[in-house]
A and B are shown apart, each in its own frame.
Chain A
Amino acid sequence: MKIKKFASIFALLTGLLVLAACQPQTVEVIKEVPVEVEKIVEVEKEVVKEVEVIKEVEVEKIVEVEVEAMAEEPDAVPYNLTPGKPYDGTTVNFLICCPTAGQFAAWQKSVDEFTELTGISVEFANEPWGSFQERIVTESIAGTGAFDAVVWPDSWGPSFSNTLQPLEPLIERDGIDYMDDYPPAFLEAGTFNDHIYGIPVRTHAFVTFYRQDVFDDLGLEAPTTWTEVLEAGRTIQAETDMAGLSNYYGVGSAQNLFVYALMLWGNGGDIFDDNYRPTFNSQAGVDAANLYASLAEIGPEAQFNNNEADARGSVQQGESAMIVGWWHFAGGFSNPEVSVEGVVGNMQHAALPAVEGKDPTGFALSIPVGISSFSRNQDAAWEWIKFISHPARDKAVVMDKSDPATNTVVASHTSVITDPEVNEVNGGIHAAAAPGLENSRLMPLIPEWAEVSSIMETAINEIVLGADAQSTLDEAAADVEAVMERSGYYKDQ
């Protein structure tokens, strides 16, 4: 009796709301956003026209300007900035994550210099890494225009391309001449749907770190293949109480796919074929998964639940002797506040291990910076982007070792990475990564990547914990195919 009554109330409620749902007013709130955008774009066009007039007069001057020459020419400004402070008094709201990242802290420090040059002030909206994605999602949908410049991890980009401004017109307008001064993988990370949406500013290359002292004691050489990594790891575990390699097999943010993808590519395999059919369950993929799982033998106990940061922690605590990871790890490894004695000063880096008998493959990840479509200060935001992405600024940030909070090795420009001065100050880590960067690859830049990577990371985690590689990957491939199918990838086939 009661259940019936209850069910009928619920059905009635549902029915009412469904009926109401059919009225067109439902998305009123959201629909107004594109209108706003159009307005902004119009305004922006006018601004562009004005700027073009200025540009015609001063374009030659700007191109020739060198940072050192500034003092003599009071009108000209460095870093390709627009002269004459046209945006004086505006504020750029900068949506950024990770207040503890050294490079971002360095940017925050440089705001004063930027304000002096342009009259623009910059507000950092520092979001915690763990909630950064939620912030970007809500902001994209609600389009409050609260943020002008935005950074994002490269693989999220394609999902949000409709909230970002293509940058080519601005790059062309201001004669940005350093766009070919990036390793191809970095530039590619901000480019999708045939547009450049992001300038690479926080960029990471994958390298191997190992404990020089431990390797010396045991008479080991820096590994060049995964087989050597495994052998070195076995020796270390037999001779010391350390783990060999700090793996990060945990699920949650698809970080266990980094090393797996490296092995997959090294084996000549790939995640998708040209038609976006999943191919990671090929023989190359299965071999890669088995190879990856075999490394568990030399990993610390926590590896199955560890994410990248946990794994790095294990090295910093002196519990593991090797890790394959991003070059920015070097910052923590040299910081006595977070790394134990023995780690500081003893972490050496080497090129990435290759699959036995195959050519080495590189892997890169970047956080590009772009302009939000909802922004009302797009030109001022662009000034800020030019400032932080300029090679001279890039170099200045990695050269500055005066403050542990802003100490970083992260640099984006080829000219900076190969700069002998930079390498000297940073222990040659850039030189070690440079060859790998030339043939580096990225995770696929598709809007479905989050869902695909979630399926894959789960499968890899299961394989590492003992599931059969072939059947697990087959199942994952079928799931991935269903995701792609639903997105209409195979319509023409």
Chain B
Amino acid sequence: MIKTPMQRIFAVLRVIGVLFILYFVTFPIFWMALTAFKNNRDAYSTKIFFEPTLNNFRILFDGNPYDFAPLIMNSVIVSVTTVLIGVPLAVMAAYAFSRYKFRGQNLLLVLVLSAQFLPATVVLLPYFIQFRNFGLLDTRTGLIIMHLTISIPFAIWLVKGFIDSLPEEIEQAALVDGCTEFQTLRYVTLPLIMPGVIVATVFTFVGSWNEFLFAFIMTTSNRARPMMVGLLALNEIDGIPWEKLSAASMIIMIPMFILALTIRKYFVAGLTMGAVK
């Protein structure tokens, strides 16, 4: 193809546009990463060159008053368990909701979803009372149950969309061949909706990892507190120490970034598949 001057200008504009996107997407993260290595005074300047310090990270682990080590452990355990339990349950439920017709189906679906849609601040108190009665306050188990109730409805909803988009005939063939319902789900349906399951996994994991309000109310000590609570605890009466907050948010975000980048392809495929039929 021959390029006209007009096309060249467009090509240049396009590159500028892409660079602008790159800037918009990464700059806030880049800036936080930079701030994490500044001292308090430099944090309040737009300096790009400064004497870097690891002090902000050290402070988060020295136990006076912040101690992030057990918090990281709690976050990992809670989020991983939530995914390991939540996603399989959600996939099975989504399959049932999608493939079987039964009485009260819609009512049940609406009920399951409603729990998710009520503002957290309204259900926070009764949750707290209920968890107190069951002795689940300040335990990881309690937090996992909490996060399951938040994530399962959304995951069901998401995965159901993917299963709905599959023609039922695929499974019928398998059933006719003598597979049980579970075998059908496991060996026929699941591989086909894998991108959707991955999207649900990412949403569940990110949601649990980043959840703050319930985690804060349900935990009172480092025994069960996840990192998000520790991070927001930095927002103090003396103001927000940006440099420490940035350091803590780096610790929180980096595992998320690694996760996001490793499964990016499947994730994007899942997002797209859910939307385009």
- Please report A residues at the B interface, Cβ cutoff 8 Å: 5-6, 9-10, 12-13, 29-30, 97-101, 105, 125-131, 134-135, 137-138, 141-142, 144, 146, 307, 309-310, 312-313, 316-317, 332, 337-340, 405
Contacts and interface: CB of A to CB of B under 8 A. Distances in A.
A5 B232 CA distance: 44
Interface string B97-127: 0000000001100110010000000001100
Interface in B213-247: 213, 216-217, 220-221, 232-240
Interface stretch (B11-19, B83-91, B128-136, B263-271): B128-136
Contacts of A309: 236-240
B187 interface: no
Contact of B106 (A9, A130, A137, A142): A9
A307 B234 CA distance: 16
A130 B245 CA distance: 14
B48 to A, nearest CB: 18
Contact of B237 (A5, A101, A144, A146): A101
B258 to A, nearest CB: 28
A317 B240 CA distance: 14
Contacts of B125: 137-138, 141-142
Nearest to B45: A317
Given A101-B237, A130-B235, 13 more contacts: A29-B130, A98-B238, A99-B66, A105-B65, A125-B221, A127-B233, A129-B235, A138-B128, A138-B217, A142-B125, A309-B239, A317-B44, A337-B39
16 contacts: A9-B110, A97-B237, A98-B238, A99-B66, A100-B237, A128-B232, A131-B233, A144-B132, A144-B137, A309-B236, A309-B237, A309-B239, A312-B238, A317-B41, A337-B40, A338-B40
Contacts of B239: 307, 309-310, 312-313
Nearest to B133: A29
Nearest to A317: B44
A101 B129 contact: no
A30 B65 contact: no
A126 B221 CA distance: 9
A338 B235 contact: no
B44 A313 contact: yes
B271 to A, nearest CB: 26
B269 to A, nearest CB: 31
A316 B111 CA distance: 52
Nearest to A108: B65
A98 B129 contact: no
B215 to A, nearest CB: 11
Given A5-B106, A10-B110, A309-B237, A130 B232 contact: yes
Interface in B45-86: 45, 64-66
Contacts of B40: 337-338
Contacts of A126: 65, 233
Given A9-B106, A138-B217, A101 B238 contact: yes
A340 B41 contact: yes
A100 B239 CA distance: 10
A446 B65 CA distance: 34
B238 A131 contact: no
B44 to A, nearest CB: 5
Q: Which 4 A-B pairs have the closest CB atoms?
A: A309-B239, A99-B65, A128-B233, A129-B237
Q: Tell me which of A12, A127, A309, A405 has the highest count of chain B C-beta atoms within 10 A of its own C-beta.
A: A309
A451 to B, nearest CB: 16
Nearest to B108: A9
A97 B237 CA distance: 8
Contact of B220 (A29, A97, A146, A340): A146
A100 B125 CA distance: 28
A99 B66 CA distance: 9
B129 A142 contact: yes
Contacts of B235: 128-130
B116 to A, nearest CB: 15
Nearest to A9: B107
B216 A13 contact: no
Q: For A30, A141, A146, A338, which residue has the most chain B Cβ atoms within 10 angstroms?
A: A338
Nearest to A129: B237
Contacts of B39: 337
A338 B237 contact: no
Nearest to B107: A9
Nearest to B111: A13
B236 A134 contact: no
B232 A30 contact: no
Nearest to B233: A128
Interface in B134-192: 137
B236 to A, nearest CB: 5
A488 B39 CA distance: 53
Contacts of A339: 41
A29 B213 CA distance: 22
Nearest to A95: B220
Contacts of B110: 6, 9-10, 13
Contacts of B41: 317, 337-340
B129 A29 contact: yes
Task: Tell me which of A30, A126, A138, A141 has the highest count of chain B C-beta atoms within 10 A of its own C-beta.
Answer: A138
Contacts of A332: 238
A29 B132 CA distance: 10
A135 B217 contact: yes
Contacts of A146: 220
Given A101-B237, A131-B232, A141 B129 contact: yes
Given A134-B216, A134-B217, A138-B124, A100 B236 contact: yes
A330 to B, nearest CB: 13
A125 B66 CA distance: 13
